[in-house]
Structure 1
Amino acid sequence: MAKPIIREGPNGPHIITPKKGGGAKVFVAGVAVVAAAGGGTAAGLGGAASVESGAAAEALPGNLAGDVADSLPGRSLETRKAEGKKSAKRGRKDETFSRFKLKQLKQAAKHEIDCLLNSTDRVRDYLAEHRCTSLDRNLFAVGDGHGNAAVISVARVGFPKKSDAEGCEKVEEVQGSGDIKPLGAALLGLDGVKFSGHHFQSRVDGRAMVVAETETVAGQVDSGTLDALADVSVWFPKL
């Protein structure tokens, strides 16, 4: 298992776990690598963004209903992730989220072709040299019916060639290299939520690059579940 990294950021230090089949983007700048101390998560160190519980409850009223079914009762997170991936590949969103005892609360989507406007830093530089053909961004709010909720961003960038998508992923997966901007969580009524890149996954799907990111927006969603949600959501077909 890759060791976590402590990185200084605008909101103070936070832990970044190198990407190895899930988790954060790989961080390659000169920083010290340390072993994790205690049971704290990136959210506990200020890395993950969240909104005040009252605001989230108002924006996500269905998250207090307590009517969420667990489609895999008693199963481990690894089993849930494996089954969730199968459901995601079939495009079954509700089934995918139920693998983690969650339900979809809200969704927003946007289709556009201006990739430069919706990217940053080195990712934007790459897109300036390698024309994209489409950009589809989706945003989901999911919750457990008991006040705990997360937001999931899935962005799909189309290219003329598979090699262009592969090249973009190599740039995208490096921490600090920029990003395809997720749709603003304000579209779901969740103002103030930003994606940290701590819970991130990417893949190449034919001539497209797909990126998924997750964050807690209310209550407590543990880091492992956030990573797993990114790992499975990146497998959704074009939505």
Structure 2
Amino acid sequence: MAKQKFRTLKDGRVVPIDEGGGAKVFVAGAAIVAVVGGGTAAGIGGSASVGSGAAAEALPGNLAGDAADSLPGRSLETRKAEGKKSAKRGRKDETFSRFKLKQLKQTAKHEIDCLLNSTDRVREYLAEHRCTSLDRNLFAVGDGHGNAAVISVARVGFPKKSDAEGCEKVEEVQGSGDIKPLGAALLGLDGVKFSGHHFRSRVDGRAMVVAETETVAGQVDSGTLDALADVSVWFPKL
């Protein structure tokens, strides 16, 4: 089957170039949900999925047996509480093992052009309140049995704490714009878009930190995606 191609319209929507089949992109309000190959689409509040074959090739190690479970038999709330403690210490592997997941891939970028890497009202805010740094990280995690998620963590530095607090107030409103996550294509996961429905933000000194998550293969339930965002936002500057 030929690989589906996409193009971006002037209004920011991503649409398929119809060549008789393949992947499709559905636009549901502010959420863009991509489906490639054998994946399944979800509407608002759902997740983006990449077909298991594509993800298996892009995420070596996600079909290689169980990931370590450091909290066997524990509830999701307990896993989230312990994961937060691990994240605060910067222990990524330990954080992910709280959810019986392992890190499969990671990429990062340090930049200073916040305007180029933001959208809508968030971008307008940054045009009026200068940022001093932008650090973006992207992680792929999986359970070793074909189920995987991607996690974006972005940290925006400002001259003053009040600037960071003001930016978070804009950022946390659904549909108000975003600090653009690093593209999942950097991890070999073409077609994955962040919907913004599994999102957490916080202010850390003079910085605003934003974490977002999405499913990229198999099934990762909504509660776990939310919990991964809740804990990943506590990673110190990476």
The alignment's TM-score, normalised by the length of structure 1, stands at 0.83
CA contact (8 A) 1:212 1:234 kept: yes
Is 1:191 matched with 2:217? no
Query: Structure 2: where are the runs of 5+ without partners?
Result: 1-24, 32-39
Q: Are the aligned partners of 1:57 and 1:147 in contact in 2 as well (CA < 8 Å)?
A: yes
- The structure showing larger relative contact order (alpha-carbon pairs under 8 Å, at least 6 residues apart) is 1
1:119 paired residue number: 118
**Counterpart of 1:111 in 2: which secondary structure?**
strand
The percentage of aligned residue pairs carrying the same residue is 92
Tell me how far 1:52 sits from its aligned partner.
1.4
Structure 2 distance, partners of 1:192, 1:43, is 12
Deviation at 1:53, TM superposition (A): 1.2
1:160-239 equivalence runs, <5 A: 160-239=159-238
Name 1:34's counterpart in structure 2. Answer: none
Conservation of the 8 A alpha-carbon contact between 1:120 and 1:180: yes
Displacement, 1:14? 7.5
**CA deviation string 1:67-120 (max 9, x = no partner):** 411000000000000000000000000000000000000000000000000000
The answer as to whether partners of 2:150 and 2:214 remain within 8 angstroms in 1 is yes
Pairs within 5 Å for 1:103-182: 103-182=102-181
Q: State the SS of the aligned residue for 1:125.
A: helix
1:6 corresponds to which residue?
Answer: none
Output one character per residue of 1:24-47: Cα deviation in whole Å (capped at 9) or x when no partner: xxxxxxxxxxxxxxxxxx964364
Which stretch has the larger CA shift, 46-55 or 213-222?
A: 46-55
| Aligned residue identity for 2:142 | G
Structure 1: gaps (5+ residues): 1-9, 17-41
* Secondary structure class of the residue paired with 2:61: helix
Greater CA deviation, 104-113 or 43-52? 43-52
1:11 paired residue number? 26
- Asked if the contact 2:164/2:206 (under 8 Å) is kept, the reply is yes
* Cα RMSD after superposing both structures: 1.9
Q: How far apart are residue 48 of structure 1 and its match?
A: 2.0
- Is 2:103 the counterpart of 1:88? no
Q: In the alignment, is the contact (CA less than 8 A) between 2:117 and 2:179 conserved in 1? A: yes
Q: Given that residues 15 and 45 in structure 1 are in contact (C-alpha distance below 8 angstroms), is that contact kept between their aligned partners in structure 2?
A: no
- In structure 2, how many angstroms separate the alpha carbons of the residues matched to 1:234 and 1:160? 21
What residue in structure 1 maps to residue 43 of structure 2? 45
Q: Structure 2 length as normaliser, TM-score? A: 0.83
3-state SS of paired residue (2:182): coil
CA contact (8 A) 2:118 2:177 kept: yes
Equivalence for 1:5? none
Could you tell me which amino acid in structure 2 is paired with residue 11 of structure 1?
F
